[in-house]
Amino acid sequence: MSDEKLTQTKVAGFVIKPEAPEILPIYEEIKKKFEARQIEVLLVEHSSKMIGLSNGIAFKELCERSDFLVSLGGDGTLLSLVRKSYGYHKPVLGINAGTLGFLADVRISEVDTFLDNLLIENYRIDDRMMIEGYIQTADGRKKFHAFNDVVVTRPTISHMAKIDASIDGEWFNTYRGDGLIISTPTGSTAYNLAAGGPVMYPLTQAFIMTPIAAHSLTQRPLVLPAHFTIDFSSPKEKVIVMVDGQDTYEMEAGEVLVINGASIGAKLLHKKERNYFSVLREKLSWGDDE
């Protein structure tokens, strides 16, 4: 568990769930709570316009000026913010405007208490593994970062994907089926879980590779250390590569997808008393009576 703390807490940069103008009164209420503790609140331009305000700033400026970033929405909003702000390496706080999330775990009713604890350094910064990768094409590299997962899948429902996989340059398997999920531990409770992959403690440094509707019953999820380099290619047909379910790339036959554990992870601000297993029990209804 990291003992890392923020160097200062003077400026918070907010990003709000897209296409949710009804969040305006919630944002204004939370903004007052921050300002009451002498924390300046900045709002990104596209969120400002969405809720009908005119004081937003560009995303680059938001990241540069903020001591930490705040996602107001759900896990999807936080996921997008972590990826887009990756190059600035600012810790991200998730305030959940809906139900309890795996990532955005501070409820609206808990903001006052969290901020009071923030000012006395009674909080946690979790360092979550991220994926850095690229698609090697004839014209160069298409680079990306992923927080949850990278999915390689068939381009049409009528075709089966055939994906050759190598670890540190040595071929080890060919996956045939609907596709393959390469997940971080954070993403283990997302698409990976739905496809039958294992749940992994989020501070682990490892990949999970889970076949999607594999053509062979011998294909099973595989967990690998994060320091491996994993290559994927489709020898004869184009496949689709999806990053965190938000960015999509076409990978032509003969092109190569290369995946590594990112040298710097994502930093998430959490309540000090937050218990990951309690969240799992609540979200997955573990232990409920039949």
Chain center to CA of 114: 22
Mark out the alpha helices in 149-284 (DSSP H runs): 191-194, 276-284
Closest CA to 263 of 221, 233, 229: 229
Spatial separation of the C-alpha atoms in residues 290 and 266, rounded to whole Å: 38
Q: What Å distances lie between residue 221 and 15, 29, 183, 241, CA to CA?
A: 35, 45, 11, 19
Which amino acids are annotated catalytic? Answer: 75
